[in-house]
């Protein structure tokens, strides 16, 4: 049969004996539909000569079957785990994911929230880094549902979004571990203190006295920051015997540069990072890290968003806190002290 532009998606749904949303999934080759049902829909499309129009279809069902994911920097080795988890959860429900990089810039985070509807998506998952001043206000004004993957920032309890938090105690776990293995001169390396400030605060709160000469703030949480921190610590008259790195990328950069400088890890300096990204197990030595449960957090954030989209719910917003886990590896094992007996 020749294609007929006058045949509507409703005609196809009626012919196949399914709903409009099911026809949409079949056309877009999305999940959430059996092969048998999909075949029935495609057969109806062929028989009626229906010309699929994604834009028209979206208007009919009022859904685009797309959601947006906004992260600070997809290049960070921790972010692909977030993106993958969101994509898999969304795919299971027949949704696609539009990825956005905010670079952790407050203005870009605000623009993403304000302009999200222009992306033709049904909702937004955002992992803020800057948390700009008008963040909560804009979230509350946005007509589309939002899920926030929160690094531990204290947000207004009345914010109109589902919030899944993946960090509050991770820094404390890292510091308790380093203190527990007998390290007494512990340094900190990371981004400026106002970026994920809870991580630096955990360092300060874990010590009876803070020696600021053992603190290195770089431009960001990157390999470069770690490498520069290693140079700085090596230049000190009295080096730290441990470093709590603000994330795993800093830890990796730190350890790689320490190697070049002849500093042994963990013999001379123990190192612990945060995020537990895949690269921590591919380095030598393997790096101790605090897992902030990124895959689990992002999966739940996606499920909550899709549930709110599906139910068109404006009810009570979820607040979920995941507990971090310390993973001890070679970079911070407790060193055995040998005893030498003199005759």
For 39, the domain range is 9-61
Looking at the domain assignment, is residue 36 inside a domain?
A: yes
Query: How confident is the model at residue 77, as a pLDDT?
Result: 76
- Shared domain check, 268 and 130: no
Cα atoms found within 13 Å of the Cα of residue 253, Cβ hemisphere only: 24
- Shared domain check, 77 and 56: no
| Residue that is last in its domain, among 46, 61, 76 | 61
Looking at the domain assignment, is residue 3 inside a domain?
A: no
CATH number at residue 52: 1.10.260.40
Strand-by-strand arrangement of the 242-245 sheet: 215-217, 186-190, 242-245, 270-274, 288-291, 325-327
Inter-helix orientation angle 170-180/197-205, to 10°: 30
Query: How confident is the model at residue 198, as a pLDDT?
Result: 86
- Shared domain check, 264 and 233: yes
Classify 149 as helix, strand or coil.
strand
Looking at the domain assignment, is residue 335 inside a domain?
A: no
- Shared domain check, 179 and 154: no
Instruction: Give CA separation, 39 vs 33, 35, 76, in Å.
Output: 10, 6, 41
Pairing label, strands 215-217, 270-274: unpaired
From the CA atom positions of the chain, what is the Rg in Å?
25
Mean pLDDT of successive 10-residue segments in the chain (343 residues)? 65 86 74 81 86 52 84 84 93 91 92 90 93 91 93 84 85 96 97 87 94 96 96 97 96 98 97 93 95 91 93 84 93 67 41
- Shared domain check, 203 and 257: yes
CATH number at residue 90: 3.40.50.2300
Classify 244 as helix, strand or coil.
strand
Looking at the domain assignment, is residue 89 inside a domain?
A: yes
- Shared domain check, 106 and 71: yes
Structure-token match 């806190």, residue found? 321
Q: What is the pTM of this model?
A: 0.68
Q: Where are the beta strands (DSSP E) in the chain?
A: 66-71, 96-101, 124-126, 146-150, 162-165, 186-190, 215-217, 242-245, 270-274, 288-291, 319-321, 325-327
Query: How confident is the model at residue 38, as a pLDDT?
Result: 86
CA distance 282 to 336: 24
| Residue that is last in its domain, among 61, 80, 101 | 61
Helix, strand, coil shares of the chain as percentages rounded to 5?
45, 15, 40
Hey, what are 216's tokens?
């290195």
Looking at the domain assignment, is residue 333 inside a domain?
A: no
What's the total number of domains in the chain?
Answer: 3
- Shared domain check, 276 and 181: yes
- Shared domain check, 137 and 191: no
């Amino acid at each position: 049969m020749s294609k007929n532009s006058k045949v509507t998606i409703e005609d196809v749904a009626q012919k196949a004996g399914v709903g409009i949303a099911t026809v949409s999934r079949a056309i877009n080759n999305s999940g959430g539909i059996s092969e048998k049902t999909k075949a029935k829909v495609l057969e109806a499309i062929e028989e009626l000569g229906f010309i699929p129009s994604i834009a028209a279809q979206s208007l009919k069902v009022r859904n685009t079957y797309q959601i947006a994911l906004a992260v600070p920097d997809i290049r960070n080795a921790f972010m692909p785990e977030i993106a993958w988890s969101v994509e898999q959860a969304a795919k299971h429900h027949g949704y696609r994911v539009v990825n956005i990089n905010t670079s952790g810039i407050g203005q870009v985070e605000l623009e993403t929230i304000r302009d999200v509807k222009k992306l033709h998506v049904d909702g937004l998952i955002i992992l803020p880094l800057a948390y700009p001043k008008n963040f909560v206000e804009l979230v509350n004004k946005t007509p589309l549902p939002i899920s926030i993957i929160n690094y531990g920032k204290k947000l207004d309890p009345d914010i109109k979004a589902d919030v899944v938090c993946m960090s509050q105690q991770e820094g404390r776990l890292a510091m308790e571990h380093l203190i527990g293995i007998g390290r007494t001169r512990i340094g900190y390396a990371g981004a400026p203190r106002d970026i994920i400030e809870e991580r630096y605060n955990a360092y300060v709160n874990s010590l009876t006295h803070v020696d600021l000469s053992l603190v290195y703030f770089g431009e960001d949480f990157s390999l470069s920051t770690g490498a520069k921190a290693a140079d700085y610590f090596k230049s000190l008259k009295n080096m730290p015997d441990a470093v709590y790195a603000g994330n795993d990328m800093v830890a990796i950069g730190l350890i790689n540069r320490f190697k070049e400088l002849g500093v042994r890890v963990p013999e001379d300096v123990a190192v612990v990072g945060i995020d537990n990204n895949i690269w921590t197990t591919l380095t030598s030595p393997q790096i101790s890290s605090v897992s902030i449960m990124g895959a689990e957090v992002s999966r739940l954030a996606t499920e909550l968003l899709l549930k709110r989209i599906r139910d068109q719910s404006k009810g009570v917003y979820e607040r979920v806190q995941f507990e971090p886990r310390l993973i001890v590896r070679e970079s911070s094992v407790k060193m055995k002290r040998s005893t030498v007996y003199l005759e």
